[in-house]
Amino acid sequence: MNEIARDVLAGRTTRVLRDGTSIGDLIDLDRREVAMRVLSDPEIHRLEMEKIFGRAWIAVTHEAEIPNSGDYVLRNMGEDRVIVTRTPKGEIAVLLNVCSHRGFEVCRADHGNTHSFKCPYHGWAFDTSGNLLGAPLDKEMYGNWDKSQYGLRKARVQVLDGIVYATFDTSSATLEDWLGPAAWYLERSGNCKRVPLGSPTRYHVNANWKTFMDTASGDDYHPVTLHRGVTEMGIFQLPGAPGSKMTLTGMNTVLATNAQGNSTLAFAEGFPIIQNFDVNSEDFLAFKNRVFATVIFPQSVVWGTITKSLPNGMPYSTSTLTRIAPTGPDSFAFSAQVLVDRDAPEEVFEFERQQTALGIILLDDFEANLSQQRAAKGHTSRQQPLRYFARGERLKRTDWPGPGTVYAAPLKDDGQWHFWRRWFQLMTDEPH
């Protein structure tokens, strides 16, 4: 029996698009291919908002961004705008930013501190937990009404390792269900001890959200070419690049994937990506088996840490919370927020404010996203497959201490294929 015959996703009844194509026609589980139409079709986009973003646990912020009672930030969950607040009881609430009366946005600022959100349209006012406080002339308008019925729509909220996740899904699925084995890695990322450096950096990118998340989901084949500029600049020596002593197969990384579509890139002993990095130093050894990036389907990446050091040699670490929100079939909002150890000396915060390498690497990734999107527009191009047939079966590792399906070293497409399998599973799941 070949692999496809045993594939749990094979033979699913799938939604049929208006032109008669089914979702199942767009993904070939045997050949591991996805038609580029999934990047540009508005019908697929609407279905994703329902089937994926309508059910997902979405990372919205770090809890330290709203430390005080009344603090709030405005965020995206899919194409929905939500207010993330700290209530007087110290809890975190995630509220749909839509007035329960006539749909005006009750919060119009990116962040701030308030005791209530008053709708500018008719004046309905809500507290930071989303409860309706009152409305002008309400006795005359509504008589003896039950205000408790008219609060802002509330999302379910869970915090894991400092990151706040929310969902409007009303099933009993918990964040742990959504994360699967990835929770184990997130819990070891140390973000509960960190605080945001500042507001998120935000960009609009004219590309489908999946172009970014696909690359992030363990595509360790692309840096040697797409990010070659980083090596040419002398910032990093990318393994496999001209002049580099390191080979791609010699990279001692592992990729832990899971059925929830999440993946973690971790570095094993000897991870040699940083130029002039002494792999035998105590600093380095302290970082062995350290998580580098955990990708949570469908929209967040917690980039972990590689040791950094101040000009005076003091080592420190940071991470970055990246969040993606689709803003249409062909655009997404990108957000990245650096997280610094709460107890780090002020010099670390000051130094981090001057770091620019991440932005330069992102330029390359966006370039790929933009190019794929331009290509995905064409009638013939939309039928062109994206290919993921480098199978990592031979690289599977059973001696790794963490959970998931674990692969050694790069040179496989399995991380991304797990992303697409999860996409297909959710897109074809009918509600229970």
Partner 1 sequence: MTTTTLEKPAKTEARVKASDPIYGAILDFLIDEAAMLDDDRHAEWLDCLADDIIYRMPLRNSLYRRDGAGFDERSNHWLDNRQSLAMRVQRTRDVPSAWDRDPAPRIRRMVTNLVVHETDTLGEYAATTYLLLLRHRFEAPGYDMLTAKREDSIRRGSNGALKLARRLVLLDQAALGAVYINVFM
Residues interacting with partner 1, by CB under 8 A? 108-112, 197-205, 225-229, 232-233, 311, 333, 338, 347, 349-351, 353-354, 356, 359-360, 362-364, 366-367, 370, 374
**Distance of closest approach, residue 306 Cβ to partner 1, in angstroms:** 18
**CB-based contacts of 193, cutoff 8 Å, min separation 6:** 162, 341, 342, 343
Minimal distance, residue 360 CB to partner 1, in Å: 6
CB of 228 to partner 1, least distance (A): 4
Q: Please report how close the Cβ of residue 260 comes to partner 1 at its closest, in angstroms.
A: 29
**Closer of 348 and 395 to partner 1 (Cβ):** 348
CB of 321 to partner 1, least distance (A): 13
The CA dihedral of 20, 22, 28, 32, to the nearest 10 degrees, is 120
**From the CB of 368, what's the least distance to partner 1, in Å?**
8
Nearer to partner 1, 174 or 309 (CB): 309
Q: Are 164 and 275 in contact (CB under 8 A)?
A: no
Query: Which CB, 291 or 339, lies closer to partner 1?
Result: 339
> How far apart are CB 370 and partner 1 at their closest, in Å?
8
Q: Give the nearer residue to partner 1 in terms of CB position, either 200 or 392.
A: 200
The token pair at 298 is 């469908």
- Of the pair 30, 110, the CB lying nearest partner 1 is at 110
- Calculate the dihedral angle through the C-alpha atoms of 222, 228, 234, 236, rounding to the nearest 10 degrees: 0
Neighbouring residues of 391: CB distance < 8 A, sequence distance ≥ 6: 32, 412, 413, 414
Between 21 and 191, whose beta carbon lies closer to partner 1? 191
Using a 10 angstrom Cβ sphere, with 0-12 exposed, 13-18 middle and 19 or more buried, the burial of residue 294 is buried
- Identify whether the C-beta of residue 158 lies closer than 8 Å to the C-beta of residue 175: yes
Q: Of all helices (H) and strands (E), which one includes residue 204?
A: strand 201-205
Looking at the Cβ atoms of 59 and 160, the one nearer to partner 1 is 59
Sequence-ordered list of residues with C-beta below 8 angstroms from that of 417, at least 6 positions apart, any chain: 32, 388
Q: Provide the edge-to-edge strand list for the sheet that holds 80-86.
A: 92-96, 80-86, 71-77, 111-113
Query: Is the bond leading into 239 cis (omega within 30 degrees of zero)?
Result: no
Contact between 186 and 294 under an 8 Å Cβ cutoff? The reply is yes
